[in-house]
């Protein structure tokens, strides 16, 4: 009995909540009308200025003639020296008559070498250091010449000789570099001598 009363109530609620009763009318999208494109007009040619008139005959004839009194090649005027106080006019300059031009000397002058400038005390100190290092290197190389060296030691000895030669060559041009090379050779030689049995 209770069920019979509930059934109409459920049916009424179900119908009321259905979307069919509250359905809105659907809006259909309609696209805007297509615009008419303007027709492409043919390009308008740019107006060009009129062509220059043709010159009949010789074009040079239209130029004015140079007056007879005017020189063809103009040179700049030479400045005149101011008059002397004595009132005498200066004599015109003499042009020296020379023989045929002498050819330039084929050997160009030596270009000056750039280098460091030392005081006499600095130069003597660098020279003393260079000579001392090279003397020690030569003595050690003489000792090494009598020894039996392996491949690595022979390579170091060759490097010492190379530094020694480079120091001798750089002595005149760059004293600082020569001292540096001699000290490298000296250090390598002393190290190699200490490692030998």
Q: What is the pLDDT of residue 106?
A: 61
Model pLDDT, residue 36 = 73
Residues 6 or more apart from 138 whose CB is under 8 A from it?
A: 164
Q: Mean pLDDT of residues grouped by 10 in the chain (197 residues)? A: 68 65 64 74 64 66 59 66 62 59 60 70 91 93 88 92 93 90 93 86
Cα-based distances in Å from 25 to 19, 20, 28: 12, 11, 9
Which pTM was predicted? 0.42
Residues ≥6 apart with Cβ < 8 Å to 166 = 181
CA 69 remoteness from chain centre: 57
Confidence at residue 172, expressed as pLDDT on a 0 to 100 scale: 85
What local confidence, expressed as pLDDT, does residue 9 receive? 72
pLDDT of residue 158: 93
């Amino acid at each position: 009995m209770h069920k019979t009363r509930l059934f109409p109530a459920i049916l009424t609620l179900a119908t009321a909540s259905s979307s069919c009763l509250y359905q809105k009318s659907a809006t259909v999208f309609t696209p805007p009308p297509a615009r008419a494109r303007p027709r492409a007009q043919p390009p308008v040619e740019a107006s060009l200025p009129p062509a220059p008139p043709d010159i009949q005959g010789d074009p040079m004839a239209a130029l004015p003639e140079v007056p007879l009194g005017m020189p063809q090649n103009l040179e700049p005027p030479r400045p005149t020296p101011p008059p002397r106080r004595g009132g005498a006019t200066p004599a015109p300059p003499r042009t020296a008559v020379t023989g045929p031009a002498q050819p330039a000397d084929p050997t160009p002058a030596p270009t000056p070498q750039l280098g460091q400038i030392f005081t006499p005390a600095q130069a003597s100190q660098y020279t003393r250091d260079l000579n001392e290092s090279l003397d020690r290197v030569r003595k050690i190389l003489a000792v090494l010449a009598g020894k039996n060296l392996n491949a690595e030691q022979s390579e170091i000895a060759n490097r010492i000789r190379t530094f020694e030669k480079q120091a001798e060559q750089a002595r005149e041009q760059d004293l600082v570099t020569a001292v540096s090379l001699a000290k490298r050779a000296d250090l390598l030689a002393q190290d190699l001598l200490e490692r030998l049995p």
